[in-house]
Amino acid sequence: MPYDLLLKGGTVVDPSQGLNASRDVAIENGRIAAIEPSISTEDAKHTVDVSGRYVTPGLVDLHVHAYWGSTYWGIDVDPVAARTGVITSVDAGSAGAYNWRGFRRFHVERVKSRLVAYLNISSIGLTHQTYEHANLYYDDVDLAVQTAAENRDVIVGIKVRLDHNTIGHNGIVPMDRARAAADALGLPVMVHIGVAPPPLQEIIARMRPGDVLTHCFTGHTNRIIDKDEKIRDDVKRAWDAGIILDVGHGAGSFSYPVAEAMVRQGLLPDCISTDIHVASIRGPMYDMPTTLSKFLNLGMSVYEVVERATINPARAIHRADSLGSLEVGREADVAVLELVEGDFEFKDVDLVARRGTKRLYCRLAIKGGQILDPEEDGLPL
């Protein structure tokens, strides 16, 4: 019985299995059927030559805005998936309880790639650009708990954006509401940080192991390093205890000076996510391969960046049993990446530029054994 598809001659980088070696990958019935040093082309109906390329689990982007048409930030993730290898997008709270059903029906259930989501503690989600917590009636704990409890197949946690222009005059209260909902559900909170208030110490004090701190390399006032460029004590303690540091690059949340200070101290983020949305997709963030390339040029290895865009985010959303791995028997979500050497310029959100010699490109994106077509039109931006 021949395999449906054979990816031949590549280097498999799958940190979930500690794998970083030349391997052929065979796919059958939408699942990973074999990973071997050599599999004959005669055993496969179709073979793709991926020599000189990396074969990784389908990338998992922990911070995406995928509610096209009904929220300020939303994009259509399918064209992005085909082009970038991000097979699983984790929506970071675009929908709240009031507009959840439209998100589920018209996006989660219709995309060709994969979509799961954090539910915003604000019932209006990110309908508007900001101020989703300015009216505390929207931060309805009972309604969020009910919605998440009815959608556990898709909802992986509770999102709260804590920023001077999201909270209105409500200080830390939205965090307390998110905490209450998440605790009632036994799910983690993803917390967005940026400009105080609320101050970072009040936010960190309310985070628990397994919660995600996104925008961890923000250059705004709530930055995680102090004036001596050392990681703050409270952040370090919470990190050691098990909170997850996630990049969430976006249009306002990746500062080269902060990222460089952290990497210099050997402090690498747990997850590298894009925060892709209408205002970051055209740069300076662009997409996942570009974001991973920035970290390669900061000194991280291909293995280290792939780990932070596959199994680590899969663990953060408690989906490591189904996502972020090429283990035999898994659904075949695969990215084929090429590392190109050259002279490249990258910019952070303040347009601080750095030159680099390495850039990753996605050459093939596969979901459940099916190759996604990068030429297919998506919804307009």
Q: For residue 177, count other CB atoms closer than 10 A to its CB.
A: 22
| Residue whose CB is less far from Zn ion, 8 or 277 | 277
Taking CB under 5 A as the rule, which mask of x and - marks residues 5-44 in contact with Zn ion? ----------------------------------------
| Residue whose CB is less far from Zn ion, 81 or 212 | 212
Burial class (CB in 10 A: 0-12, 13-18, 19+), 294: buried
> Smallest distance, Å, CB 339 to Zn ion?
28
Strands in the chain per DSSP E: 3-8, 11-14, 19-22, 24-28, 31-36, 44-49, 54-57, 59-64, 86-92, 114-120, 155-161, 189-192, 212-214, 244-246, 334-347, 353-367, 370-371
Q: Which residues in 205-264 contact Zn ion (CB under 5 A)? A: none
> Smallest distance, Å, CB 252 to Zn ion?
9
Q: At what angle do helices 256-264 and 288-297 cross, to 10 degrees?
A: 50
Q: Which stretch binds Zn ion (CB under 5 A): 27-35, 268-276, 336-344, 356-364?
A: 268-276
> Smallest distance, Å, CB 53 to Zn ion?
30
> Smallest distance, Å, CB 280 to Zn ion?
9
> Smallest distance, Å, CB 241 to Zn ion?
24
Residue 266 to residue 308: CA distance in whole angstroms = 15
- State the number of binding residues for Zn ion (CB under 5 A): 2
Task: Render the burial of 1-38: b for 16+ CB within 10 Å, e for the rest.
Answer: eebbbbbbbbbbbbbbeebbeebbbbbbebbbbebeee
| Residue whose CB is less far from Zn ion, 92 or 285 | 92
Residue 324 exposure: Cα atoms within 13 Å on the Cβ side: 26
| Residue whose CB is less far from Zn ion, 47 or 99 | 99
Q: Is 271 in the site for Zn ion (CB under 5 A)?
A: no
The phi-psi region of residue 84 (left if phi > 0; otherwise alpha if psi is between -120 and 50; otherwise beta) is: alpha
| Residue whose CB is less far from Zn ion, 14 or 275 | 275
Query: Which are the contacts of 208, defined by CB distance < 8 A and separation ≥ 6?
Result: 188, 189, 242, 243
Q: Which stretch binds Zn ion (CB under 5 A): 42-50, 144-152, 231-239, 270-278?
A: 270-278
| Residue whose CB is less far from Zn ion, 272 or 366 | 272
Which residue's Cβ has the minimum distance to Zn ion?
275
Burial class (CB in 10 A: 0-12, 13-18, 19+), 344: middle
| Residue whose CB is less far from Zn ion, 59 or 92 | 92
Q: Which residues in 34-93 contact Zn ion (CB under 5 A)? A: 92
Q: Which residues in 89-118 contact Zn ion (CB under 5 A)? A: 92
| Residue whose CB is less far from Zn ion, 275 or 348 | 275
Q: CB of 113 within 8 A of CB of 81?
A: yes
Which position among 14, 275, 287, 348 is part of the footprint of Zn ion (CB under 5 A)?
A: 275
> Smallest distance, Å, CB 250 to Zn ion?
6
For residue 61, the Cα-to-chain-centroid distance in whole angstroms is: 2
Given the rule CB under 5 A, which residues bind Zn ion?
92, 275
